[in-house]
Amino acid sequence: MLSKGSNFISLSDFTKEDILATLSLIQSYDDQNLKRFIPNKKKLLANLFYEPSTRTSSSFFSAATLLGHEVLSINEVKFSSVAKGETLEDTIRTLASYVHCIVLRHPEEGSAKKAAAVSDVPIVNAGDGTGEHPTQTLLDVYTIWKHWQKLDGLTITLMGDLKYGRTIHSLIEVLKKFDVNINLIGPKDLRLPKTYGSYLESTELTENLAMGTDVLYMTRVQKERGAKGNYALTKLDAENLPPSSIVMHPLPRVDELPTWFDSDPRAKYFEQMQNGLAVRKCLLDRILG
Ligand code: NCD
């Protein structure tokens, strides 16, 4: 569970009850008077990003600043000693002696764990290669839970780059803890690695699959990781999806989620992105104490 000084690397150690308790806690940071959360003691957070980011880095920045903390942003690692060949471990040891918490995004799977092993301050995993993206997962699950008021009993269809998308990998690990029906849609070359489990897999969102879907969670092709593929939400898919369903996407989107869908009441992705602030405020408040 989230506690003062704890790392946040993965949700795999969270039980179903831990997840539900965390979602209720996040809700207390959602639409609240920010002043309530201004701490007595200002802390310093490092946002260390070795990969591009808009939402994750800026929502961590906002969350920390709104909580009254300060942020050291290092997102152009080419201007740091990383460009001189410094290892991740040495960079982490250095920052850990100047700040109270490090938010890390890195292209290598397992990097957050590696960083936590040498850090004197908590490490928050903001995405480790194709591995996990647990803070994104919290906001994804929070969005579903807030809309449906439950997770058990839902049919969730994951459509996109199932092979390289870390948001998919993290999300599946949490959904597995619930009584959720998971369907997978994606190109043959971008199938889910078997380590995450076996589910009904299809290359297309058929009428039947669409009609039974409560949540359609889409992702882009992870081109920077060598992925190739073509798929998109069609007008027919939109017709087949039930009126009560929601469509989510961690963003950024490319061509798979057309802008004509944005005005559809089932489009949840902008609200999903907004929920990232409550999640990161809650997380930092808990960890920084
Ligand atoms: C995701 C990521 O970085 O994994 N973006 C995000 O944090 N919202 C999704 C992606 O890049 O496709």
**Is 179 contained in some domain?**
yes
Instruction: Flag whether 175 is in a domain.
Output: yes
Is there an atom of ligand 1 within 6 Å of 249 CB? no
**156 within some domain:** yes
pTM of the model: 0.94
- Residue 37: predicted pLDDT: 55
Residue 275 is predicted with a pLDDT of 97
Q: What total of structural domains would you count in the chain?
A: 2
Asked whether 231 and 200 are in contact (CB, 8 A), the reply is no
How large a percentage of the chain has pLDDT more than 90? 90
Left (φ > 0), alpha (ψ -120 to 50) or beta: where does 276 sit?
Answer: alpha
Write down the pLDDT at residue 215.
Answer: 98
- The encoded tokens of residue 104 equal 């890390």
Instruction: Tell whether 163 and 92 lie within a shared domain.
Output: no
Q: Is 127 found in the same domain as 170?
A: no
pLDDT of residue 36 exceeding 90, the answer is no
Residue 6 within a domain: no
- Over residues 84-118, the pLDDT tens digits come to 889 999 999 999 999 999 999 999 999 999 999 99
- Looking at every residue in the chain, the average pLDDT score rounds to 94
Q: Say how many Å lie between the CA of residue 151 and the centre of ligand 1.
A: 22
Same domain, 166 and 65: no
Residue 80: pLDDT band with limits 50, 70, 90: confident
Which residues constitute the domain of residue 119? 11-133+276-288
Mean pLDDT (whole number) for 239-264: 98
Nearest C-alpha neighbor of 113 from the set 122, 52, 5, 2: 122
Tell whether 2 is covered by a domain.
no
Name the pLDDT band for 81 (thresholds 50, 70, 90). confident
In this structure, are 144 and 225 located in the same domain? Answer: yes
Q: What mean pLDDT is predicted for residues 137-159? A: 98
CA 13 to centroid of ligand 1, rounded, Å:
22
Nearest ligand 1 atom, CA 126:
7
| Spacing, Cα 159 to ligand 1 middle (Å) | 14
Residue 259: both structure tokens together: 């802008």
- Expressed in angstroms and rounded, the spacing between residue 40 Cα and the centre of ligand 1 is 33
* Residue range 148-174: mean pLDDT, rounded: 98
Do 120 and 79 belong together in one domain? yes
* pLDDT tens-digit readout, 168-226: 999 999 999 999 999 999 999 999 999 999 999 999 999 999 999 999 999 999 999 99
Does the C-beta of 220 come closer than 6 Å to ligand 1?
A: yes
Report how far Cα 227 is from the mean position of its chain's Cα atoms. Answer: 20
Q: Is 253 in the pocket of ligand 1 (CB under 6 A)?
A: no
- Say yes or no: CB of residue 250 within 6 Å of ligand 1: yes
Q: Atom 7 of ligand 1 has which residue's CA nearest to it?
A: 56
* SS3 per residue for the chain: CCCCCCCECCCCCCCHHHHHHHHHHHHCCCCCCHHHHCCCCCCEEEEEECCCCCHHHHHHHHHHHHCCCEEEEECCHHHCHHHHCCCHHHHHHHHHCCCCEEEEEECCCCHHHHHHHHCCCCEEEEEECCCCCHHHHHHHHHHHHHHHCCCCCCEEEEECCCCCCHHHHHHHHHHCCCCCEEEEECCHHHCCCHHHCCCEEECCCCHHHHHCCCEEEECCCCHHHCCCCCCCCCHHHHHHCCCCCEEECCCCCCCCCCHHHCCCCCECHHHHHHHHHHHHHHHHHHHHC
Predicted confidence at residue 121, as pLDDT, reads 97
pLDDT confidence of residue 35: 47
* Claim to verify: residue 151 and residue 33 sit in the same structural domain: no
Atom of ligand 1 at shortest range from CA of 105: 3
Give yes or no for a contact between 158 and 184, defined as CB atoms under 8 angstroms apart: yes
Domain for residue 1, yes or no?
no
Whole-number Å distance between alpha carbons of 27 and 33: 13
CA distance from start to end of the chain: 14
- Structural domain contains residue 205: yes
Ligand 1 pocket check for 219: Cβ under 6 Å: yes
144-161 mean pLDDT: 98
Residues 116 and 204 in one domain: no
**Mean pLDDT, to the nearest integer, of 148-165?**
98
pLDDT above 80 for 2: yes
- Check whether residue 221 and residue 283 sit in a common domain: no
pLDDT higher than threshold 80 for residue 78: no
Q: Which of 133, 162, 270 to mutate to test the pocket of ligand 1 (most atoms within 8 A of CB)?
A: 133
Residue 96 belongs to some domain of the structure: yes
Residues 220 and 160 placed together within one structural domain of the fold: yes
Ligand 1 centre and the CA of 48: distance in Å? 16
**Which CATH number characterizes residue 96's domain?**
3.40.50.1370
pLDDT band at 40 (very low <50, low <70, confident <90, very high): low
The answer to whether residues 177 and 237 belong to one domain is yes
Q: 64 and 163: one domain?
A: no
Q: Which atom of ligand 1 is nearest to the CA of 220?
A: 12
pLDDT at 79: 76
* Claim to verify: residue 189 and residue 119 sit in the same structural domain: no
Helix axes 111-118, 88-96, angle to 10 degrees: 50
**Is the shortest distance between the CB of 59 and ligand 1 below 6 Å?**
no
55 CB within 6 A, ligand 1? yes
Length of the chain counted residue by residue: 289
